[in-house]
A and B are shown apart, each in its own frame.
Chain A
Amino acid sequence: MQQYTDFFKSQRQKIDEACPPLLNSFREKAFDFFQRTGFPVYQSENYQHTDIADLLKTDFGFYIGHYKIDINPYRVFPCTIHNLNSYKSFLVNGRYYEESVPGLPQGVFSGSLNDFAREYPLVFAKYYNGQANAKGDGLAAFNTMFVQDGYVLYIPENVTVEKTFQLTNVSGGNIDSLTNRRILVILEKNAQAKLLVCDHATDEKPVLAATQVMEIYAGENASFDFYDLEESSLNTVRLTANFVLQEAASSVTTNTITLSNGITRNNYQADLSGKQAEIRLSGMAVADVQQKIDNFTCIHHHVPACRSNELFKYVLDDEAVGAFSGRIIVAQDAQKTVAYQNNRNLLGSSRCRMYSKPQLEIYADDVKCSHGMTTGQLDEKALFYMRSRGIPFTEAVLLLKSAFTSDVIKEIRLESLRDRLKFLVEKRFRGELIKCQGCI
């Protein structure tokens, strides 16, 4: 931690250099907070299984100032999904890859965080870091201190964008490096949009670490679908903090899918602050060898008549480690809340480990809440039934594993992406997916 506070103090000018003053104005407060708290403490209640300080103790190279981007994302990860017509954007080592997105509807912004701060200072000031500051821990503060750029999706009132926005995070380089990037999504009243974020790493060798803070604001009656797909490499460290704030009758779907990774920690904190708001929070993790995936979620029902539905599934093998924490808080006044949570895990070896912690805190009395958690192995009876029909053991295992993850994929409301994921998941279970081959 000391190395980062020293670095912040001594390199402040360089950190600020490529960013607009408005963005830089948030750093100091975050620094004060970080100095006081440091990284979240390992084995504290919310970080039982991920030691952030240890993961970031390496002397990482930082991407700061006017650094050069020498990766052409269109060449490395064109990420063209069959039948998915999308507006494409790229963040290369955290920096927005300049290429204007043509044909955007009037008033919609999809582009660089720095540009957004310059072009929409009032909107930026209203939303940026609002949730991260109020609800975030040392990890979010750390990101705010060092962030260089990121992606903003801004959909003004009453605008519906049918076409999907697709953001690809590309990490690469030949030294151990740390990227701090940011995503800000603002949907005003009655706005609708869908965003797919894919995480890729170009290199297998050096440790590529990234922190990512994402803030989602869904205004009254807004609708937002967010699909987050990680396909990186074993040497990747990905630490994300995702904040969702929903107003009345808004609907947010998030689906976080880890197909291949190194060490991943995703925080999801959702606040349902207007009546009839609804969130569908789902996720899926496939891990083997020494991969590690820790998803931490907290859904807070502040007001009556909101709905939340949470579904997380893990398929672990070898020495992989999975962790899921699902906290649901129903405030005293939040009557007529409907909150469901489900976590199901499949273990393929005796050496992999799954830690699951459902945690419901209900202070209202007229609610419908349920949670369920199971961790087990493949159904022997189903395996034998399939084999008795001539399906070889390995193929039967594959079918059962794919079937196990099918309900998470069903949550995706884009048919082309669903098809793509079914294909990728099956490839992953066959052991053919080392990294995404450009989604072609």
Chain B
Amino acid sequence: MLTIRDLHASINGKEIIKGLNLQINAGEVHAIMGPNGSGKSTLSAVLVGNPAFEVTGGEVIFNGQNLLEMLPEARSCEGLFLSFQYPVEIPGVSMVNFMRTAVNEHRKCKGEAPLTAGDFLKIMREKQSIVELDKHLVNRSVNEGFSGGEKKRNEIFQMAMLDPKLAILDETDSGLDIDALRIVANGVNQLKRPDNAMIVITHYQRLLDYIKPDVVHVLYNGCIIKTGGSELALELEEKGYDWLKYN
């Protein structure tokens, strides 16, 4: 589904990703762990096409297409989704309007007619229940005045609405209390299917108790320095990253 070969990326002239390789297949959940500043968020930003980052080398193939040549909106319609570490507040744009526009753009790309208002609301109510999102929130402006937990649930709600092929969860567990973490993780697990895949970026093992990864990668200084099964996360939790750095 996703193939990254020798990816290099920088921000303001400073290289952050330094020759990264990664292969993700349908049905897999990959966890990417690593210390602060190792390039985890940069990787997710580059994959979804954040213009603040510059790709200086390498290639990324997503569903047979050259991802790096696509606009951010086209990547989304192709089935890529990022759950933002810091979801953005958009005063004045209602959640309903925002999601309806997004869903209908996705339908347009697939050659489908826009949803009627009634159908859209029905689907929305259905998906809201996945993350137990307060029904009043969708009438508010996007993320405006949402608590930290509500923002993260809202990300997973959007993921449910857009039904991506590959979802990247960038520190979705940060800022969540234990109950919220369980709700968000349950939501994510409900969305897991054999034909889609996920990248879970996290600092901590605890999210991986809920979302079981097939593969765990350790990112350090812009490269993946170790790859293993889910037991690697437990080992990291115990020994810290220094254990890898000096090995």
Contact = CB atoms under 8 A, between A and B. Distances in A.
A407 B73 contact: no
Interface string A367-388: 0000000000001111011111
Given A384-B50, A407-B92, A390 B84 contact: no
Interface stretch (B100-108, B176-184, B194-202): B100-108
B146 interface: no
A384 B77 contact: no
A399 B98 contact: yes
A399 B97 contact: yes
Interface string B42-69: 0000001111000000000000000000
Contact of B102 (A391, A400, A406): A391
Contact of A403 (B73, B81, B84, B90): B90
Contact of A395 (B51, B72, B76, B105): B105
Contact of A382 (B82, B90, B105, B162): B90
Interface string B184-222: 000000000000000000000000000000000000000
A400 B51 CA distance: 18
B92 A392 contact: no
Contacts of A7: none
Contact of A388 (B76, B90, B109): B76
Contacts of A42: none
Contact of B73 (A381, A382, A387, A404): A387
Contacts of A395: 101, 105
B91 interface: yes
Contacts of A75: none
B87 interface: yes
Contacts, number: 76
Contacts of A423: none
Contact of B91 (A380, A393, A403): A403
Nearest to A407: B92
B158 A389 contact: yes
B93 A392 contact: no
Among A381, A386, A389, A404, max chain B CB count under 10 A is at: A389
Nearest to B94: A403
A395 B104 CA distance: 12
B105 A400 contact: no
B71 A382 contact: no
B72 A384 contact: yes
A320 to B, nearest CB: 21
Interface string B1-23: 00000000000000000000000
B117 interface: no
Contacts of A400: 90, 92-93
Nearest to A390: B76
Given A382-B90, A399-B93, A400-B93, A392 B50 contact: no
Nearest to A406: B92
A389 B90 contact: no
Contacts of A407: 92
A385 B106 contact: no
B88 interface: yes
B72 A388 contact: yes
Contacts of A382: 88-90
Contacts of B142: 385
Given A390-B109, A399-B101, 13 more contacts: A379-B90, A380-B51, A381-B88, A385-B142, A389-B162, A390-B76, A390-B105, A390-B162, A395-B101, A399-B97, A399-B98, A400-B93, A403-B93
29 contacts: A380-B51, A385-B87, A385-B88, A385-B90, A386-B90, A387-B72, A387-B76, A388-B76, A389-B76, A389-B98, A389-B158, A390-B77, A390-B106, A390-B109, A390-B162, A391-B73, A391-B98, A391-B105, A392-B71, A395-B105, A399-B97, A402-B92, A402-B93, A403-B90, A403-B91, A403-B92, A403-B93, A403-B141, A404-B92
Interface of A: 379-382, 384-393, 395, 399-400, 402-404, 406-407
